[in-house]
Amino acid sequence: MNKFQILYIDDSKEDRELLRTIIGTIATDIEIVEQADGETGLMYLQNEEIPTPDVVLLDLNMPGMHGIDVLKAIRDDELLKSLPVIVFTVSTASNHITEAFRAGANAVINKPLDLSEYKQVFIDTFHFWRNISRLPSS
């Protein structure tokens, strides 16, 4: 069975390291690919020589290309438009959540502050996207 691949686009090195640590403790069949900003994350996705990840975990508030712009670019790309994108943000503002869904997010999850809650969010989220959800073929 191939590893379930997550592309995590977030400017926070600490958040990327935390996710890598959590995934390492809960599953050996999940691979994390990290990109530190929207531009490089989008370039990674558009590189046809690299397999498309199973899901994208996307921060909103990043310097340079904002997460909403990355999401819109994904949805405008014929080869990527059905790729699941989960917005993972500290923002709880309803306008940010609404904007993310309007841009095509499959889900919006707030980054928990508590480590055990953070871990449980990932267990639940990736169980759903890996084992339960069914998406159309690209």
- Predicted confidence (pLDDT) per residue in 74-93, tens digit: 999 999 999 999 999 888 78
79 within a domain of the structure (yes/no): yes
How far is Cα 82 from Cα 13, in angstroms, rounded to an integer?
Answer: 28
**CATH, residue 76:** 3.40.50.2300
pLDDT average, residue stretch 11-36? 89
107: closest CA among 89, 130, 80?
89
97 within a domain of the structure (yes/no): yes
Q: What is the pTM of this model?
A: 0.88
Q: Measured between alpha carbons, how far apart are the two ends of the chain, in Å?
A: 20
**Residues of the chain above pLDDT 70, percent:** 96
Query: Residue type for 135, please?
Result: L
Helix or strand (DSSP H, E) at 32 = strand 30-35
What total number of domains does the chain contain?
Answer: 1
The count of C-alpha atoms lying within 13 angstroms of the C-alpha of 28, restricted to the half-sphere facing its C-beta, is 1
| pLDDT (0 to 100) of residue 114 | 79
* Residue 127 structural domain: 64-133
| pLDDT (0 to 100) of residue 134 | 67
pLDDT average, residue stretch 42-64? 94
**pLDDT tier, 1 (very low <50, low <70, confident <90, very high otherwise):** low
| pLDDT (0 to 100) of residue 40 | 97
How far is Cα 8 from Cα 34, in angstroms, rounded to an integer?
Answer: 5
Task: Please state the φ and ψ torsions of residue 5, each to the nearest 5 degrees.
Answer: -105, 130
Greater confidence (22 vs 56) lies with: 56
126 within a domain of the structure (yes/no): yes
Please, are residues 54 and 86 in contact by the beta-carbon 8 Å criterion?
Answer: no
| pLDDT (0 to 100) of residue 60 | 93
Is residue 115's pLDDT more than 70? Answer: yes
Helix axes 67-76 and 38-46, enclosed angle (nearest 10): 20
Is residue 18's pLDDT more than 70? Answer: yes
